[in-house]
Amino acid sequence: MADDLKQIIAARAGRELKDGQIINLGIGLPTLIANHVPAGVDVIIQTENGAIGVGPQPDPGCEDRDRANAGNQPISLLAGGSYFDSCTSFAMIRGGHLDATFLGTLQVDGEGNIANYMVPGKMLAGMGGAMDLITGAKIVHIVTEHCAKDGTPKLMKACTFPLTGAKECDVIITERALFRRHPDKGFVLEEVAAGHTLDDIAACTDMAYVVADDVKLDAFGE
């Protein structure tokens, strides 16, 4: 994915953060959200390999050999942070102690199903902590490019790959739009990014959704 698209998605995702939230960011694009925390908002970042209170990436030469995130990038730890083992980490995750998680995906559908860990018949990576995060975090955000590399929609009528989580996705943020799932209406298109129209979104989205009465056009991505 092009860097500018990633930044558009990460910036919009950052605006979802609420002061005081405890969050976990997936590897790759979701990690960039840490650079887009709005002014006046303080969030606490947990990383599933065993730390909470993750701070900025240290300057080159100042990395600590035993301070890294789940993507193996060096981290710093803010005052009040701590380290723990994997059982404790997943007690936090499964036990409902995380306010939100942000993860990438291969597919997501209108029921809130998420498929993000394997493509059948192709190389297997594994679900890592994603299955636990999707099950345990209070709000599950999917942050993803709107379409796959071959141009086909990632927001599907129904996921065809094995699910990572069933009916767990609450918010979908792409470089083109933001959808939020409501208990009775399903996914609602709330925002369309600059340079896109309602028709554009309809044409590249197979997932069922309704358009919000007060849908915002040019909502982000300027």
Partner 1 sequence: MPKNKVVPIEEAMSRIKSGMSIAVGGFIGQGDPLTLIDHLKTMDVKDLTIYENDAGYRERGVVELVRLGKIKKVVASHVGTTPYIGKAMNEGTLEVEVVPQGTLAERMRSGGAGLGGFLTPTGIGTTYGESREQIEVDGRTYLLEKALKCDIAIVRAHRGDTWGNLMYRGTSRNFNVPAAMCADYVIAEVENLYTLGELDPEAVHTAGIFVDAVVRANIDYCVLREEAYHNG
User: Which residues bind to partner 1, rule: CB under 8 A?
Assistant: 47-51, 60, 63-70, 72-75, 83-87, 89-90, 93-94, 113, 117-118, 123-132, 135-136, 162-167
Based on CB atoms, which residue is closest to partner 1, 117 or 179? 117
Based on CB atoms, which residue is closest to partner 1, 40 or 126? 126
Distance separating alpha carbons of residues 9 and 106, to the nearest angstrom: 16
State the nearest-atom distance from the C-beta of 89 to partner 1, in Å: 8
Distance separating alpha carbons of residues 83 and 13, to the nearest angstrom: 26
Given 48, 111, 168, 191, the catalytic residue: 48
State the nearest-atom distance from the C-beta of 28 to partner 1, in Å: 11
Burial 61-96 (b: 16+ CB within 10 A, else e): eeeeeebbbbeeebbbeeeebeeeeeeebbebbbee
Based on CB atoms, which residue is closest to partner 1, 134 or 177? 134
Say which residue the tokens 């679900």 belong to.
127
Based on CB atoms, which residue is closest to partner 1, 113 or 205? 113
- The amino acid that residue 210 corresponds to is V
Q: Is 186 left (phi over 0), alpha (psi -120 to 50) or beta?
A: left
State the nearest-atom distance from the C-beta of 187 to partner 1, in Å: 18
Told to judge if 190 belongs to the known catalytic residues of this protein, a careful annotator would answer no
User: What Rg, from alpha-carbon coordinates, does the chain have?
Assistant: 17
State the nearest-atom distance from the C-beta of 90 to partner 1, in Å: 3
Instruction: Give every strand in the sheet of 76-83, ordered side by side.
Output: 76-83, 51-55, 44-47, 22-25, 100-103, 139-143, 171-173, 177-182, 186-192, 210-216
State the nearest-atom distance from the C-beta of 67 to partner 1, in Å: 5
Based on CB atoms, which residue is closest to partner 1, 80 or 126? 126
**Active site members:** 48
